[in-house]
Amino acid sequence: MSPTTDGRRPRIVVVGHGMVGHRFVAAAVERGLTATHDVVVLGEEPRAAYDRVALTSFFEVGADALSLLPGGAYDDPRVTLRLTTAVVGIDRDARTVTTAEGEEIAYDELVLATGAAPFVPPVPGKDLDGCFVYRTIEDLEAIRTAAAPGPDGTRKRGVVIGGGLLGLEAANALHQLGVEAHVVEMAPRLMPVQLDETGGATLVRHIEKLGLTVHCGVASTEVLDDGTGRVAGLGLRDADPIAADIVVFSAGIRPRDGLARDAALEVTPRGGVLVDERLRSVTDPHVWAIGECAAPAGVMYGLVAPGYAMAEIVVDTLLGGTAGAFTGADMSTKLKLLGVDVASFGDAFATTPDALELVFSDAVAGLYKKLVVGPAPDAPDSWVLLGGILVGDASAYGLLRPMVASGMLLPDNPEELILPESRGALQLGLPDEAVVCSCNNVTKRDLLDAVDVDGAHRCEDLGATKACTGAGTTCGSCVPTVKGIIEDYFTAVGKAVDTSLCEHFALTRQELFDVVAVHGYRSFTEVVEGHGTGRGCDICRPTIASILASQLGGHVLEGETGALQDTNDAYLANIQKNGTYSVVPRIPGGEITPEKLIVIGEVARDFGLYTKITGGQRIDLFGARMEELPAIWTRLVDAGFESGHAYGKSLRTVKSCVGSTWCRYGVQDSVQLAIDLELRYRGLRSPHKLKGGVSGCARECAEARSKDFGVIATEKGWNLYVAGNGGATPRHAELLVGDVDTATLVRYLDRFLMYYIRTADRLQRTAPWVESLDGGLERVREVVVDDALGLGSELEAAMARHVDSYFDEWKATLDDPAKLARFVSFVNAPDVPDPAITFTTERGQVRPAEPDAPVDLGASIPVGAPR
């Protein structure tokens, strides 16, 4: 496109930087629209786009974890993002927008992505102090402040007006904050748009078990005033009022179309900019609307997936494409509300002529599953799936929802799809055009193209396929289906994914673990003679060493086992870039006495070590030469320290806040539990390193949900989260079980860790391990909580053996002259330090000298002398 008359490149102005506005910009960059256009994004909020779908998790993970643009800016220099910039007017004749500061910004194409605003019913008292809406992070921060216990520690009471999706999310937020929560819904059931009467009743039973109170079929009349302008409660029609300190309005949303109305753009009677199938305003061809502020064909869509589809269509149209047209959207929903799986898809209320309902209900187990089926148009005596509802167990959602859009014929007994032990729809064969991931509009054909062994794309595992196609990267509900399609395809084309551990063993790590257990092997030699070939390699040797350590205990340097270890385990310390080692003593729960703190300082001073407080609440001592390690350990062991296992694929730390001991918000003693768990699982060898965390309240100061296992205190006990992951691929831990006592928590955690150790692949963290399991977290819950495999006692016994056999590897090494003999730089000159190790100083501490940097000669010193 040629430059404009004022000499600048054509400019697209995007008003709004929520999830849909961000998706438009991301698509514009990815598809090359910024090669011809500049993009200016004007966001009214003070922060860049973030994940509103997961808004409730803000209390657990913080704002940074929700951000869709962590750096706060786009890499493409043709995109300008301006936050805290409200647009107050549009001049369609001049093609400019005006900001609240009076600045005029010209546009050639204007994209409105202003979203929606919470609907606040016009009840008296709605503006009292203590009334909130539930829409932004700032709203949640205000609710969190109001939810803090009173000076005397009394628990606050809160009421949410609205029992739909947003209302239950708001109730979940209050519940997480320790507020006594009530939900008021005018309809006769919860989630009236998605659930029928029985489904809603099933959901109520689940929610009330958690301690919340649900009031359905009642209308709010007024917010009661305590006489000082603050909330005192909520008045109800034909029912007793509810005493409350907090009222949250979450009764739906309305399109933010004020700008459009002021600019004389046509809007629908129910709100929203009226647009055509390409999302272009029917009033002005240079104005577009996407997301919740748009009303294609007069309908407003309040889910993120339709908004994403709209964004993609506008980008395609601006690029000159003709393929995209918005003709409606899949309004299916799957989510976890207060720990309860809920899903609704297709024609859930059987409004289609001749539709029939197939229902499975188990009131005791809290399960309700309904399929709506109808006659197949072109196949007499056959049926197709029209929709359904799932409450309590939505594991089949990823398989059932694509079947609705595909129109595929159902089996003779379609009830098998929802009955226990269902055979599953994957075996029925989804057609290629079936949309598997509705959030990102990924079809089965898209997945097959990504893994086609004869094509240019060769994604060979789930992670690569997700990265390539986007499937499963938004809500994640389709991940099991995506995994099944990939595996089925490879099987069909005869392409076997080699699961051998290495060239010496044609077995997986899990199979080797079982082999060692069954045969009672006690050495690498026995394992390789029985099931492998050759002498092993740097893959199988440490792996089998870890398996032997997990099952047998014993010192990792004992006998031939010592020769199997990698560099870190071989010297019980972490090797650093200049050949020195770091020493990390264990500090359980981060709690340390002044006397022990002084010892660490003295050791660091006397051996000239660099000191760093780690994110896991320990102190790392860097720069120790190999031959210095025993002397350093001696000082630390004599002071009561032990190995922190920072060098091993084992438990590192269990981080904690100060909990109820010191913090005014703490509801449980998180420090004691963190110490107990760290001492219980110390030295536990596993496929990869393990990290834990314990937070004393829902404010989550220990960041427990970024850990392999995380524990968060509640008024009733503990919530256990599992399979979180930091590092290169962050992932939040998910709730395994809630409100359990300490003994139950430990029992389930014992099972979880031993199940992971027994079945995970080599170097597989807990997050990808759970994702790789058929059924994912639900499978883990079946094994760990429900004991579906009958392994509970066996896993607990394995952990008990570990606890009983623990010993400190540092002290055991110091007590064994044979093991100490390895700690020398030169075997033929044990008293000579490695001259290649040199240091310089920076910020008052030593650091490795760079190869070409001047060397601080005073930093190269005799063994054991102060640096």
Q: Where is the binding site for siroheme, in residues?
A: 701
Concatenating the DSSP letter of every residue in 399-461 gives HHHHHHHHTPBPPS-GGGGTSTT---SGGG---TT-EEETTTTEEHHHHHHHH-TTSS----S
The CA-based dihedral angle spanning residues 501, 706, 686, 795, taken in that order and rounded to the nearest 10 degrees: -110
**Of 237, 236, 232, which Cα lies nearest the Cα of 247?**
232
What sign results for the dihedral spanned by CA atoms 295, 322, 78, 19? positive
Q: Is 818 exposed, middle or buried (0-12, 13-18, 19+ CB in 10 A)?
A: exposed
**Alpha-carbon distance 42 to 777, whole Å?**
39
Beta bridge partners of 50: 67
Torsion angles phi and psi, residue 844, rounded to 5: 80, 10
DSSP state of 154: P
**Alpha-carbon distance 799 to 350, whole Å?**
51
Binding residue numbers: 657, 663, 697, 701
The distance from CA 804 to its chain's CA centroid, rounded to whole angstroms, is 34
Q: What one-letter code names the amino acid at 592?
A: I
Alpha helices in 532-663 (DSSP H): 540-552, 567-571, 594-607, 629-638, 659-662
Judge contact between 644 and 633, C-beta under 8 A. Answer: no
Q: List Cβ<8 Å contacts ≥24 apart for 517-521.
A: 517/551, 521/548
**Alpha-carbon distance 24 to 31, whole Å?**
11
Torsion angles phi and psi, residue 338, rounded to 5: 50, 40
The three-point CA angle 261-15-466 to 5° equals 125
| Residues in Cβ contact with 724 at an 8 Å cutoff, skipping those fewer than 6 apart | 704, 705, 706, 707, 708, 709, 710, 731, 732, 733, 734, 766, 767
Binding residue numbers for [4Fe-4S] cluster: 657, 663, 697, 701
The DSSP H or E segment spanning 721 is strand 717-722
Judge contact between 542 and 524, C-beta under 8 A. Answer: no
